[in-house]
Amino acid sequence: MKAELACTDITENLCQHCAYCCLKTLLPVNALTSQTYEYLVMVMESRGFSVYAYDEDDGTLLFDMGACPYLRRKGEMYGCGVHGTAARPKKCKKFNCAAWAAVGEEDNTVFTDYALGIYNWLNGGESSGE
Ligand code: SF4
Ligand code: SF4
């Protein structure tokens, strides 16, 4: 079982089974006071978005904005409904969650933590529970 993903582990096959970065659109905002936190949570939850994580130390509040509307499920696998078209954002074409996790802060492992389970499952490990 692999303990950490490398950039080269992020293949098309893994992404088609994982899709976590398409399922979770995360919006980071600063909630530096408890009043700001309560206000933001009230406004966002009233619009159907939920809190994904909150870091009390630096006030970063991550909202889960839900799945990308272009995401398509094909049985056990996922696909991008605008793959190969101009509508697909450039960031999506280039995104590699392991490369992102390798730079910056520990929050950057939010996608690789999930993708690692899928990787190990695809390579003969325990069920992903999907
Ligand atoms: S989280 Fe990583 S492995 Fe999963 S779809 Fe996104 S880039 Fe691919
Ligand atoms: S546009 Fe496609 S690749 Fe980008 S987040 Fe949406 S489904 Fe994923």
What is the mean pLDDT of the segment spanning 93-104? 90
Cα separation, 119 vs 83, in Å, equals 22
d(CA 51, CA 60): 11
What pLDDT was estimated at residue 78? 98
Distance 61 CA to ligand 2 centre (A): 23
How many angstroms is it from 96 CA to the middle of ligand 1?
Answer: 7
Q: What is the mean pLDDT of the chain?
A: 91
Per-residue pLDDT of 6-28, as tens digits, reads: 999 999 999 999 999 999 998 98
Distances (CA, A) of 84 to 78, 88, 100, 109: 15, 7, 23, 27
Distance CA 85, CA 31 (A): 37
Phi, psi of 119 (to 5 degrees): -60, -50
Q: What pLDDT is recorded for position 109? A: 87
Tokens for 20?
A: 């976590």
pLDDT tens across 70-85, in order? 999 999 999 999 999 9
The ligand that comes nearest to the alpha carbon of residue 71 is 2
pLDDT at 39 over 50: yes
Instruction: Provide the residue count of the chain.
Output: 130
DSSP secondary structure letters along 50-64: EEEEEETTTTEEEEE
Residue 130, pLDDT > 50, answer no
Query: How far, in Å, is the centroid of ligand 1 from the Cα of 39?
Result: 32
At residue 57, the pLDDT reads: 86
CA of 66 to the centre of ligand 2 (A): 12
Structure tokens at 106: 């520990």
pLDDT, one tens digit per residue, over 49-69 is 999 999 888 888 999 999 999
Closest residue CA from atom 8 of ligand 2: 22
Q: Tens of pLDDT along 108-128?
A: 888 999 999 999 999 987 655
Give residue ranges with CB within 6 A of ligand 2: 22, 68, 70-71, 80, 82, 88-89, 92
Domain boundaries, the chain: 1-24+68-124, 25-66
Nearest-CA residue for atom 2 of ligand 1: 97
